């Protein structure tokens, strides 16, 4: 039996992971499940999967979780320390599907106990890529990409040498505002931004898709994951979202990964890796699809893509600053404190202000330094949004 834990179990990726695991209950022993405020879902899944422990991120949710699991024998816990304690419990495979920088610490702890880390939480790669890869190496663990683009690249690289890679192309749907006139973007609401043409995902990543901050994070994630020169990484708009990524080799060949818009594909690949097993995803009918289209990414419409290039060029803690400023700006947009276009303005300002002090960006990438950079970026973003 494979021992598995799922962090962010109540979210979109977490629920898709549980769907796969619940189809083969005899194959898995579930160690830990974590969630946030959705205690009813967390408790239901903990019972269904017979988890050892259920953890909510929030202390105020603990009484409800305890009540929901009373008499089941399932342990309950709450808070950040409880999350890392749960991540330290031996497991063979750990899904990292918390949203935001909060996913970093449990992921690192899971790697330290030797687990294979299925990484949906792209933010941790953006904030601390070298630390994650080094921790995996030091403890004989593996990091398996779950972001669909990175899973696609990972699959296209099987049996290949990284030196033979000429370029990596990740695709972007273009999000909710792909076809909006530019002059309307300033008025876009959080509700409009949170509808995605192709994928059913959490609210935050869906809005990040409309602003292309999601693709910006993914460019950086590609650079960190595959140790590829940023100049070799491209994004292309592909409205159908059926090709997830392409890898170009020195002989000019492009290997594309084509599959349905269903995250169970990438999750399942990581779950069964290095094997391939049957997955309950749609089989594509190419004739019915008819055609696939591509467009150049427009850096005026989506300044986040330009900012990602600057972050990759800066290196160091710039990724942590970028991600934290983005999270803060996204919160403000969701709360209607700033407009859609101001998100990029906030992030750019924070990067400019903090890069004026080289020490902010050039420190070693340790968990403490990442946390400090994250904190500084959030304070700087808030200050700019309040005082200009
Ligand atoms: P979601 O909002 O649906 O779920 C987030 C999960 O994290 C929930 O379980 C929530 O309770 C938990 N959580 C939120 N804040 C937390 C905190 N501060 N501490 C601890 N737990 C917290 O998000 P999602 O769409 O499932 O995305 C999860 C991660 O996967 C993100 O990093 C996202 O970028 C990435 N991802 C998602 C998709 C997708 O299709 N949804 C695709 C690729 C990558
Ligand atoms: Mg993706």
The pLDDT averaged over each successive group of 10 residues in the chain (388 residues) is 98 98 98 98 98 98 98 98 98 98 98 98 98 98 97 98 97 95 96 90 96 98 98 98 98 98 98 98 98 95 97 96 98 98 98 83 91 97 98
Ligand 2 centre and the CA of 106: distance in Å?
Answer: 21
pLDDT of residue 357: 74
Distance of CA 140 to the CA centre of its chain: 23
Q: Is 32 helix (H, G, I), strand (E, B) or coil?
A: strand
Mutate to test the pocket of ligand 1, among 61, 77, 98 (most ligand atoms within 8 A of CB): 98
- How far apart CA 374 and CA 323 sit, in angstroms, is 8
Which residues on neighbouring strands pair with residue 37, listed in sequence order?
Answer: none
Sequence-distant contacts of 136-142: CB under 8 A, at least 24 apart: 136/111, 139/111, 139/112, 139/113, 139/114, 140/114, 141/110, 141/111, 141/114, 141/115, 141/116, 141/117, 142/116, 142/117, 142/273
Q: What angle do CA 178, 180, 181 make, to 5 degrees?
A: 130
At 100, phi and psi to the nearest 5? Answer: 90, 180
Task: Report the candidate in 51, 298, 311, 345 with the shortest Cα–Cα distance to residue 175.
Answer: 298
Q: Which of 365, 335, 351 is nearest to 213 (CA)?
A: 351
Report the predicted TM-score, pTM, of the whole model to 2 decimal places. Answer: 0.98
DSSP3 helix / strand / coil % (the chain, rounded to 5): 50, 15, 35
- Rounded to the nearest whole angstrom, what is the distance from the C-alpha of residue 8 to the centroid of ligand 1? 6
Q: What is the pLDDT of residue 332?
A: 98
Ligand 2 geometric centre to CA of 263 (Å) = 9
- Mutate which of 146, 205, 207 for ligand 1? The one with the most ligand atoms within 8 Å of its CB, which is 205
CA 337 to chain CA centroid, Å, is 25
Residue 240 CA, ligand 2 centroid: distance in Å? 14
Q: Is 145 in the pocket of ligand 1 (CB under 6 A)?
A: no
Closest CA relative to residue 200, chosen from 44, 12, 15: 12
355 annotated binding-site participant: no
Residue 151 annotated in ligand binding: no
| Beta strands, E only, 133-288 | 142-145, 165-172, 233-237, 243-249, 254-258
Q: Which residue from 7, 13, 95 has its CB within 8 A of the most atoms of ligand 1, so it is best to mutate?
A: 13
**80-125 pLDDT tens trace:** 999 999 999 999 999 999 999 999 999 999 999 999 999 999 999 9
Residue 291, Cβ neighbours under 10 Å: how many? 6
Atom of ligand 1 nearest to the CA of 14: 26
Report which of 11, 3, 5, 4 is spatially closest to residue 83, judged by C-alpha positions: 5
106 lines ligand 1 (CB under 6 A): no
Q: Tell me what pLDDT residue 358 has.
A: 62
- Is residue 37 part of an annotated ligand binding site? yes
147 within ligand 1 shell (Cβ under 6 A): yes
CA of 47 to the centre of ligand 2 (A): 30
Does the Cβ of 98 fall within 6 Å of ligand 1? Answer: yes
- 14 Cβ inside 6 Å of ligand 1: yes
Res 200: pLDDT: 87
Q: Is the CB of 10 under 6 A from ligand 1?
A: yes
Q: What is the spatial distance between Cα 219 and Cα 169, in angstroms, rounded to a whole number?
A: 9
Angle at 291 between CA 286 and CA 292, to 5 degrees: 100
Euclidean distance between CA atoms 120 and 150, whole angstroms:
10
Cβ 112 vs Cβ 84: under 8 Å:
no
Residues in the chain: 388
Instruction: Please report which helix (H) or strand (E) contains residue 2, including its range.
Output: strand 2-7
Question: Is this complex's ipTM strictly greater than 0.85?
Answer: yes
Q: List, for residues 302-315, the tens digit of each pLDDT value.
A: 999 999 999 999 99
Going by alpha carbons, the residue nearest to atom 23 of ligand 1 is 202
Ligand 1 within 6 A of CB of 13: yes
Helix (H) or strand (E) holding 252: none
β-pair type (243-249, 254-258): antiparallel
CA atoms within 13 A on the CB side of 227: 7
Q: Which residue do the tokens 């030797």 mark?
A: 114
């Amino acid at each position: 039996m494979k021992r598995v834990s799922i962090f962010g179990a109540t979210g979109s990726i977490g629920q898709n992971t549980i769907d796969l695991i619940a189809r083969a209950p005899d194959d898995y022993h579930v160690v830990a499940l974590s969630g946030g405020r959705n205690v009813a879902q967390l408790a239901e899944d903990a019972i269904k999967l017979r988890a050892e422990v259920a953890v909510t991120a929030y202390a105020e949710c603990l009484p409800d979780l305890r009540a929901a699991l009373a008499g089941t024998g399932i342990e309950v816990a709450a808070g950040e320390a409880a999350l890392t304690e749960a991540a330290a419990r031996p497991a063979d495979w750990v899904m990292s599907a918390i949203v935001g920088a909060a996913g970093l610490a449990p992921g690192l702890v899971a790697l330290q106990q030797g687990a294979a880390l299925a990484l949906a939480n792209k933010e941790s790669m953006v904030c601390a890529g070298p630390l994650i890869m080094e921790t995996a190496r030091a403890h004989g663990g593996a990091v398996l990409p779950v972001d669909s683009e990175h899973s696609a690249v990972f699959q296209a690289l099987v049996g290949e040498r990284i030196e033979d890679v000429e370029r990596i192309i990740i695709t972007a749907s273009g999000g909710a505002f792909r076809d909006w006139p530019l002059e309307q973007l300033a008025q876009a609401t959080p509700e409009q931004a949170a509808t995605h043409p192709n994928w059913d995902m959490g609210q935050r990543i869906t809005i990040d898709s409309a602003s292309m901050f999601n693709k910006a994070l993914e460019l950086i994630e590609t650079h960190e994951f595959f140790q590829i020169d940023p100049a070799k990484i491209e994004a292309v708009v592909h409205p159908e979202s059926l090709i997830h990524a392409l890898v170009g080799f020195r002989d000019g060949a492009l290997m594309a990964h084509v599959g349905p818009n269903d995250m169970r594909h990438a999750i399942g690949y990581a779950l069964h890796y290095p094997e391939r097993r049957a997955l309950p995803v749609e089989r594509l009918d190419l004739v019915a699809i008819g055609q696939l289209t591509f467009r150049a990414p427009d850096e005026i419409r989506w300044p986040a893509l330009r900012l990602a290039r600057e972050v990759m060029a800066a290196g160091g803690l710039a990724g942590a600053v970028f991600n934290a400023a983005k999270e803060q700006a996204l919160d403000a947009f969701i709360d209607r404190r700033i407009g859609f276009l101001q998100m990029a303005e906030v992030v750019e300002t924070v990067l400019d202000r903090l890069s004026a002090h080289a020490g902010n960006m050039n420190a070693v990438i340790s968990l403490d330094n990442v946390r400090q950079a994250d904190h500084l970026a959030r304070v700087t973003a808030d200050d700019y949004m309040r005082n200009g």
